[in-house]
Structure 1
Amino acid sequence: MGVIKKTFYTGVLTGASFLAYLGATTTIISPLPRDDALPRSATFAKYNVHRNPSTQDICVKRIPLNKIRPDLLENEGDLVLEFCRGVWSGLGNRFQRAYLARKYQGPTTSGQLWTVEQLSRSTYTPGTQLIDHFEVVERTPTEIVVRCGDSPRNRSPRDSDGLFVISAEVDEARAEVVLGLKSCFFTSARKIEGIQGPMPGWMELCHRWYTRLWMASGSWRVTRNSVF
């Protein structure tokens, strides 16, 4: 009984320490700053056709340049691509990937990305679909924009819709890399009155911690000591 109790408390302390690490190394901003480009973009207007209110936030992590893999700083676009690969193939996405695979992986979704190998090597060009829940809709040298909320097989407006922006930029002035995971969830199927986004408070809180976990596993991929 003493061993079981000790193991339990060790697990609790380890979990608490990890949550503390996630909280200390990432910053959550919600709602998005007024000057953020996403809500004013053509991509946002395309999918949020009714300009409905949204649940929005961004998770930010800063990493000193000297801790970033040097090969990712040589060519434009390599840094955000590798970060994107880490987000989808990393530990943070393993549970959701396994859950969706049990439900939806099959002949009708065979053209999508499902395995860790596929997710860790894809170039994430627009049109790439993954785990029957995400589709790349735009890519720039610093951002990869993904539509989420429902199966990419559903091309129509949706009750659950949204955009997820994976970003990586170099802040030369501070000698840092700035990684970002930006979320904007909305209903696109019909006009929604009021200013409240679609996600209830408890779900929004869970989403923010989940995003922090994705940030951690994605950022490990771009650092010098990464193993992949």
Structure 2
Amino acid sequence: MGFLRKLKLCTGVVAGLSGGALGYLRASTTIISPLPIDDPFLRSSTYAKYNLHQNPSTQDVCVKRIPLDKIRPELLQREGDLALEFCRGVWGGLGYRFQRAYLARKYHGPATGSQLWTVDQLSQSAYEPGTQLTDHFEVVEKTPTEIVVRCGDTPRNQNPRDSDGLFAISATIDKERGEAVLGLKSCFFTSSSKIEGIQGPMPAWMEVLHRWYSRIWMETGSWRVTR
């Protein structure tokens, strides 16, 4: 699914929210765009592999901080559990329900039967590399603090794409502040050919909608890890 089809979904979901809900999302989450020039993600081997022409990208990260006493205590006992459970919350949560249902109607069939489609599947997966979700995402990297998926087109297309991107779901602990730090980092780019200039593939107005959609994913995904 390309950027324009994603835009339709973003518009529909954001339009359904009240002014109070939008205000809460703005207050409870932080958007940083573009990413800092020294962000490790932009220097990672995964980013270099998929953005092989080093094309300009549309970049942002949505961050939410939660006091540790509000996090489910069992998720703090073993490294990796918090990030995995947050990832499950993003994909199995309310914020992704509309897009999941839309993609299922269009693409769930014999050719995609091995992918994750149901809420139960998305809420229970270990999200190991190679896991494919709703014919639009594929896990390409997993560490104890971050799970990275490729997006922009069907994972059945492993080639460079006109519409490509990486989406990183992370959870770390800030011991000094006593908080869990949840992150949703997005980089969208064209990988099929070299693009001149410095502008990413999304126009500014589309970026605004995308960031509101990220806030929704963040909020509903965070419910999974809180008491």
- In the superposition, the TM-score normalised over structure 1's length comes to 0.92
Give the corresponding residue for 2:143.
140
SS at match of 1:24: helix
Pick from 165, 169, 172: which aligns with 2:172? 169
SS at match of 1:221: helix
Pick from 71, 82, 86: which aligns with 2:74? 71
SS at match of 2:176: helix
Q: CA deviation at 1:81?
A: 0.3
Q: CA deviation at 1:34?
A: 1.6
Q: CA deviation at 1:27?
A: 0.2
SS at match of 1:173: coil
Find runs of 4+ consecutive structure 1 residues off by over 4 angstroms: none
Give the corresponding residue for 1:213.
216
Q: Aligned runs of 1:89-100 on 2, under 5 Å?
A: 89-100=92-103
Q: CA deviation at 1:35?
A: 1.6
Structure 1: gaps of 5 or more residues = 1-11
Give the corresponding residue for 2:89.
86
Give the corresponding residue for 2:23.
20
SS at match of 1:170: strand
**Counterpart of 1:90 in structure 2: which amino acid?**
G
**What is the distance in 1 between the residues matched to 2:67 and 2:38?**
26
Q: CA deviation at 1:190?
A: 0.3
**What is the distance in 2 between the residues matched to 1:48 and 1:34?**
16
**What is the distance in 2 between the residues matched to 1:75 and 1:169?**
12
Structure 2: gaps of 5 or more residues = 1-14
Q: CA deviation at 1:202?
A: 1.4
Q: CA deviation at 1:203?
A: 1.1
Greater relative CO (CA pairs within 8 A, separation 6+): 2
Q: How many pairs are equivalent?
A: 213
**Counterpart of 1:78 in structure 2: which amino acid?**
D
Q: CA deviation at 1:168?
A: 0.1
Matched, 1:47 2:14: no
SS at match of 1:63: strand
SS at match of 1:155: coil
**Counterpart of 2:60 in structure 1: which amino acid?**
D
| Overall identity of the aligned pairs, in % | 75
**Counterpart of 1:152 in structure 2: which amino acid?**
P
Give the corresponding residue for 1:115.
118
**What is the distance in 1 between the residues matched to 2:203 and 2:132?**
27
Matched, 1:190 2:205: no
Q: CA deviation at 1:200?
A: 1.1
Q: CA deviation at 1:145?
A: 0.4
**Counterpart of 1:108 in structure 2: which amino acid?**
A
**What is the CA deviation profile of residues 12-68 of structure 1, one whole-angstrom value per residue up to 9, with x for unaligned ones?**
9x7111100000000000000122111111000100010000000000000000000
